A and B are shown apart, each in its own frame.
Chain A
Amino acid sequence: GDSVTQMEGPVTLSEEAFLTINCTYTATGYPSLFWYVQYPGEGLQLLLKATKADDKGSNKGFEATYRKETTSFHLEKGSVQVSDSAVYFCAAPGAGSYQLTFGKGTKLSVIP
């Protein structure tokens, strides 16, 4: 099965709503975990990361906590904006140490 399982979208929220995008991973040890964001017509950009268990990555109001007990790295934001509309990808190392496996992506649309 997939080493990264991500909540399927699309997700549509009103501005200032709370966002959660679920991500779980399968890996040996305690790998670094990542969230990437892709805005329309652009490449993927690193949004945040966590390098060890219980770490919290944060950037631009987004947060994700590395939970080893549930092998999860859920993305959250307290109040989304229209400009947050994008596709979000969770990523973790795959079979090889230097190969990231990406989730299928979750498209977020924020409406005014």
Chain B
Amino acid sequence: DAGVIQSPRHEVTEMGQEVTLRCKPISGHDYLFWYRQTMMRGLELLIYFNNNVPIDDSGMPEDRFSAKMPNASFSTLKIQPSEPRDSAVYFCASSYRQLTGYTFGSGTRLTVV
């Protein structure tokens, strides 16, 4: 199993530009989570999906953030327009319920200049 696959690994963009982060969960997992990690705030849950349906997006910081899961094997997190304070490492994780814990991807390090 290739694990949870995120792309790109690194993204540098200018303020105001649109950024799209991608995630492929582990096949058979029915939950998908997007987290953001910063030194100041630690690990924050942004949104999670169950069977491709968004369940809780209360962690999404602003309307500039949106996430979709069009099918069981793909999810995107979009920031439009991006701002320097969005700079962070964004992780995607998936799980089969909670019985085995989450499997995290390697993350996307986003830098907005």
Question: Which residues of A approach B to under 8 Å, CB–CB?
Answer: 32, 34, 36, 42-46, 49, 51, 89, 91, 93, 96-100, 102, 104-105
Alpha-carbon separation in the docked complex, A44 to B106 (Å): 8
Query: How near does chain B come to A65, taking the closest CB pair, in angstroms?
Result: 17
Alpha-carbon separation in the docked complex, A45 to B102 (Å): 8
The 8 Å CB contact of B97, one of A44, A45, A98, A104, is A98
Contact B91 A32, beta carbon cutoff 8 Å? no
Known: A44-B91, A44-B104, A98-B31. A32 touches B99 (CB 8 A): yes
Alpha-carbon separation in the docked complex, A76 to B73 (Å): 37
User: Is B98 an interface position by the 8 A CB rule?
Assistant: yes
**Sample (9) of A-B pairs whose CB atoms are under 8 Å apart:** A44-B91, A46-B100, A46-B103, A49-B101, A91-B101, A98-B95, A99-B48, A102-B43, A104-B42
Query: How near does chain A come to B17, taking the closest CB pair, in angstroms?
Result: 25
Alpha-carbon separation in the docked complex, A102 to B72 (Å): 25
Alpha-carbon separation in the docked complex, A102 to B33 (Å): 13
Alpha-carbon separation in the docked complex, A97 to B99 (Å): 11
Contact B43 A99, beta carbon cutoff 8 Å? no
Query: How near does chain B come to A1, taking the closest CB pair, in angstroms?
Result: 15
Contact A32 B102, beta carbon cutoff 8 Å? no
Interface of B is mostly: strand
Alpha-carbon separation in the docked complex, A100 to B103 (Å): 12
Query: How near does chain B come to A17, taking the closest CB pair, in angstroms?
Result: 26
Residue in B closest to A89 when the chains form the complex, CB atoms: B43
Contact A98 B50, beta carbon cutoff 8 Å? yes
Question: Using a Cβ cutoff of 8 Å, how many contacts connect chains A and B?
Answer: 52
Question: Which residues of B approach A to under 8 Å, CB–CB?
Answer: 4, 31, 33, 42-43, 45, 48, 50, 55-56, 91, 93, 95, 97-107
Query: How near does chain A come to B48, taking the closest CB pair, in angstroms?
Result: 6
Known: A89-B43, A104-B42, A105-B43. A46 touches B106 (CB 8 A): no
Alpha-carbon separation in the docked complex, A42 to B105 (Å): 8
Known: A32-B98, A43-B91, A93-B98. A98 touches B104 (CB 8 A): no
Known: A42-B106, A43-B107, A44-B91. A99 touches B45 (CB 8 A): yes
